[in-house]
Amino acid sequence: MKKRTLLLAFVFVFLVHCSDNKNTFSDNSKKQDSLAIFLDNAFDENLNFNERYSNNGKALKIVETLPNDSNNRKNYLRVSIRYFNLNKFDDFKNTTEKAKNLSIEVNDTINLARAYAFLGDYYKKITKSDSAFLYYNQAEKEYIKLKDNLKIGEMYLNKAEIQFNNRDFRGAENTAYIAMKFLRLGKDSYLEYQALSLIGMCLTELTEYDNAIDFHKKALLIVDRNEIPTFMQRRASTLNNIGLIYKNKNEFALALQNFRAAYNEPNLNKDDPALYAMVLDNLAHAKLKENDFTDLPGSFYTALKIRDSLKITTGIIVNKIHISEYYDAKKQKDSALKYANEAHSLALSSNSIGHQLLTLKQLGNVETEKSNFYSKEYVSLSDTLIQTERKVSEKFARIEFETDEFKRQKEQLTIQNRNIILFALLAFFIVVLLYIIRDQRSRNARFKLREAQQRANEEIYALMLSQQKKLDEVVQKEKQRIGQELHDGVLGRLFGARLNLDSLNKKDDEQAVAGRNHYISELKNIEQDIREISHELNREKYALINNFVAILTNLFEEQKTLSEDTDLKYNIDSAIKWDKVGNNIKINVYRIIQESLQNINKYASAKNVSINLIKDADNLHINIIDDGVGFDVDKKSKGIGLQNIESRVTSCHGTFELKSKKGKGTSIAIDIPLEQQPTT
């Protein structure tokens, strides 16, 4: 009944646990369904901004309740992307930071690389170039681990764009070349186009115009293969870039040709108004340089209006400089000066040194009376720009170096940790190996000791057998002698006495009486002889029973012979029934005494030695005492002899006590139970 109750309880707990798991699974499944709906709504451009933003917030709340698995880290990044599309950049950054931290916790390289790239996009958007460059650099290192060539190339391209925007043109060019190498492996036409265009723009700024045109034409070939959607208006962009190069080379006819081709691209104004305004402004400026005032200044004002609506600060500055140039060409100094000053003020407020230089140059052209002042300002600002560009270049180089250095240090730390672990494992292995070797040596020593003890036991047993054989031979000879005496002596005398008594019994005279008395006396003598023979037989039986005593006695007598300077006294309790003592005990007792005597002979220099074997009710007591030199028991380690004695005592389940002092001799007390317990 009790077992049945326990079984029912177990089944109940199991069902409850399964029910909980099922409920948890069901709950997570519902959350995933809701999450998908909220994310879709946040991406739906048919909904208004507030609805999309609210749905994305709801999606984030669900994501925060789910476990930190790979899918949920992706969900964090999906929420981040929607915040970016909604221009909620702080929310975008915070959500990406969460994804980054969760990815670091579990060493999720894929999502960590994406998080770093997103943070790079954030800082690029808010124009914190150094932070953006740093995060793109970190993303690049993670993508290198993943061997994702396309993403590696994309991160290099992002870094090159940051360098270009910060006027590190040579650095941007070199970085873009590296991006090209990986992008071609990744086979992404649009990113390859971007890299080629960026290299062309870098070379333009470095006044390497012919090389710049070559790269823009390579970019144009990708566009001509129709590998990039037409609505992106990459053909117009590239033609505009080529036109700018020809304008910088003062080849205005070719510049106009390319600007007009760009301007005539279908749907340019609709697909990319900012690019349309740029092309229109450049086309008008090229006309101005060719002294063609057709549609001027109307084209300038149209471009300016578009740029103003789009709040493109750099475009507005350039546009106003061009308008200033137009009015200067028309000798309308007030209007020329007005637009030049407006451009300069805007350049100052935007903290753009490059555009400040352009406005100072135009101010110098318009206000010729202040040309020296503007020239000095231009030179001073130009020096500042050069220094700034150098610092920017060094800063980006330092970021890459520090990132690589951090990575190197991290790798070194990993290697050091690995070496420490390997060293610890090696040390542990050595310790274990030494322990095994030591244990094996100890086992071998114990095995050799047991082997030596076994050989000694065999020797003692052989000695006992030899003694037994000798004793048996003596007993046999004695039996033969006694038999002969009984047969030849006693029986003959009995037979003669019987015959004489028979003959005397027939007579009653005094002589017969005297004869009978004589033979009666003879019978008494025969009786005495028989009694003596009987006593001799009893002594032989005692000697047979006490064979071990004889062996010990021989050992003691040999000791006396070996050491004549030592007075050996021994006592073997006659109450000990050696025939009832096991052979194992007798062998070990013999060996213990023999070992003790050997130690005394070698080390003790004793004058007197006493050995006592005494029995009480249950135990055999062995006391071995000498008055030799002695030793300090606490300081001196036990030699092999004493270890053997102690080992033998232990094998007999006995106790061993050693007492000794320098100059005071040595005593050994051993107690061995006569009734041995069987060994398990």
Q: Give the model's pLDDT for residue 361.
A: 87
Burial of 1 by CB count in 10 Å (0-12 exposed, 13-18 middle, 19+ buried)? exposed
Ranking 15-19, 205-209, 279-283, 526-530 by mean pLDDT, the lowest is 15-19
Residue 393, pLDDT above cutoff 60: no
Residue 11's pLDDT band (boundaries 50, 70, 90)?
very low
Across residues 586-594, what is the average pLDDT?
Answer: 86
Query: What tokens does 652 get?
Result: 């007999």
For residues 362 and 17, the model is more confident at: 362
Across residues 490-514, what is the average pLDDT?
Answer: 68
For residues 640 and 585, the model is more confident at: 585
Residue in the structure block whose two tokens are 């030596």: 452
For residues 259 and 479, the model is more confident at: 259
Q: Give the model's pLDDT for residue 374.
A: 76
> Mean pLDDT across the chain, nearest whole number?
82
Instruction: Give tens-digit pLDDT for 415-437.
Output: 777 778 888 888 888 888 888 88
**Alpha-carbon distances of 499 from 435, 504, 529, rounded to whole Å:** 91, 9, 20
Q: Give the model's pLDDT for residue 247.
A: 92
Q: Give the model's pLDDT for residue 3.
A: 46
- Does residue 297 have a cis peptide bond before it, meaning omega lies within 30 degrees of 0? yes
Residue 403's pLDDT band (boundaries 50, 70, 90)?
low
For residues 367 and 284, the model is more confident at: 284
Residue from 574, 620, 567, 626 nearest 596 by CA: 626
Ranking 43-52, 306-315, 380-389, 444-453 by mean pLDDT, the lowest is 380-389
Query: What tokens does 537 get?
Result: 């037989």
Q: Which helix (H) or strand (E) holds 367?
A: none
Q: Give the model's pLDDT for residue 269.
A: 93
Residue 504's pLDDT band (boundaries 50, 70, 90)?
low
Residue in the structure block whose two tokens are 């909604």: 86
Across residues 23-37, what is the average pLDDT?
Answer: 70
3-state secondary structure of 617: coil
Q: Give the model's pLDDT for residue 14.
A: 47
Across residues 206-213, what is the average pLDDT?
Answer: 93
Instruction: Give tens-digit pLDDT for 227-249.
Output: 888 888 999 999 999 999 999 99
CA distance 104 to 143: 15
Query: What tokens does 125 get?
Result: 């958007």
CA distance 132 to 429: 49
Q: Give the model's pLDDT for residue 305.
A: 94
Residue 464's pLDDT band (boundaries 50, 70, 90)?
low
Q: Give the model's pLDDT for residue 438.
A: 84
Residue 414, pLDDT above cutoff 80: no
Residue 138, pLDDT above cutoff 80: yes
Query: How many residues are listed for the chain in this entry?
Result: 680
Ranking 170-184, 328-342, 350-364, 369-383 by mean pLDDT, the lowest is 369-383
Instruction: Give tens-digit pLDDT for 249-291.
Output: 999 999 999 999 999 999 999 999 999 999 999 999 999 999 9
> What's the whole-model pTM score?
0.56
Residue 2, pLDDT above cutoff 70: no
Given the DSSP bridges, would you call strands 608-615 and 567-572 parallel, antiparallel or unpaired? parallel
Vertex 482 angle, CA 480 and 486, to 5°: 115
Across residues 167-186, what is the average pLDDT?
Answer: 89
Query: What tokens does 401 get?
Result: 């170096």
Query: Which range in 161-170, 271-280, 391-400, 403-412 is most confidently predicted, on average pLDDT?
Result: 271-280
Ranking 15-24, 136-145, 316-325, 619-628 by mean pLDDT, the lowest is 15-24
Three-class HEC string of 654-678: CEEEEEEECCCEEEEEEEEECCCCC
Q: Give the model's pLDDT for residue 398.
A: 57
Residue 580's pLDDT band (boundaries 50, 70, 90)?
confident
Q: Judge whether 570 and 611 are in contact, CB under 8 Å.
A: yes
Q: Judge whether 284 and 247 are in contact, CB under 8 Å.
A: no
Residue 6, pLDDT above cutoff 50: no
Q: Judge whether 149 and 157 are in contact, CB under 8 Å.
A: no
Q: Give the model's pLDDT for residue 236.
A: 94
